[in-house]
């Protein structure tokens, strides 16, 4: 809705023919993450060329405006409004759109990300359950310096990284202890 309104304002200022229709098309296709507005911009640009063939610069200005609008939406507006509501990285969003779009067409592109987010959360929960049963950490960054895991599930780090890891554990432990002491003082 927001992108459709911004598109209407921009196309009106650019004096684009059929600004309302073009804005509705771009706004509706914006439901599809990443690719949607471009899918809406293609028929809109063709419409602008067909309606006003004597002024092809109108089409060029429209396409440039859509590119700027999409950059604004993708880099500022979308993250501010949605945040990390799905819990998926950009890679998994594009993956979901591509796979579900390939399997189910436009409907798959629209519902693919939410469905994939549910699947991703379920798989993550199962994996984390198995990790907890083996007394292994569930945070990914804990495995960044991992060399291997033996049969008992103990981490083996190379010697230099082992020292860094031990120092970090001591720092984390002393910070946890300070936090607990501050909490106890605050409760009294």
pLDDT at position 65 is 94
Confidence of residue 83 (pLDDT cuts 50, 70, 90): very low
Angle at 162 between CA 158 and CA 168, to 5 degrees: 150
Q: Is the pLDDT of residue 103 over 90?
A: yes
How far is it, in rounded angstroms, from Cα 10 to Cα 84?
A: 28
pLDDT (tens digit per residue) in 33-74: 777 888 899 999 999 999 988 888 989 999 999 999 988 887
* Spans of all domains in the chain: 1-83, 84-133, 141-187
| Closest alpha carbon to 30 in 20, 41, 21 | 41
pLDDT (tens digit per residue) in 122-145: 999 999 999 888 887 888 777 766
For range 98-119, the mean pLDDT: 89
């Amino acid at each position: 809705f927001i992108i459709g309104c911004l598109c209407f304002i921009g196309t009106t200022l650019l004096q684009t023919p059929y600004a309302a229709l073009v804005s509705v098309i771009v706004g509706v296709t914006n439901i599809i993450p990443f690719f949607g507005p471009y899918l809406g911009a293609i028929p809109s640009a063709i419409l602008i060329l067909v309606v006003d063939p004597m002024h092809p610069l109108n089409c060029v200005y429209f396409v440039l405006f859509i590119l700027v609008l999409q950059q604004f939406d993708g880099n500022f507006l979308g993250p501010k409004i949605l945040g990390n509501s799905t819990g998926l990285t950009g890679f998994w969003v594009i993956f979901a759109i591509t796979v579900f779009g390939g399997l189910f067409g436009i409907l798959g592109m629209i519902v693919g990300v939410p469905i994939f987010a549910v699947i991703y959360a379920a798989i993550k929960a199962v994996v984390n359950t198995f990790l907890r049963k083996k007394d292994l950490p569930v945070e990914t960054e804990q495995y960044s310096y991992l060399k291997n895991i033996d049969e008992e599930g103990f981490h083996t780090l190379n010697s230099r990284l082992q020292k860094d890891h031990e120092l970090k554990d001591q720092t984390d432990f002393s910070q946890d202890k300070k936090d607990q002491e501050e909490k106890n003082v605050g409760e009294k």
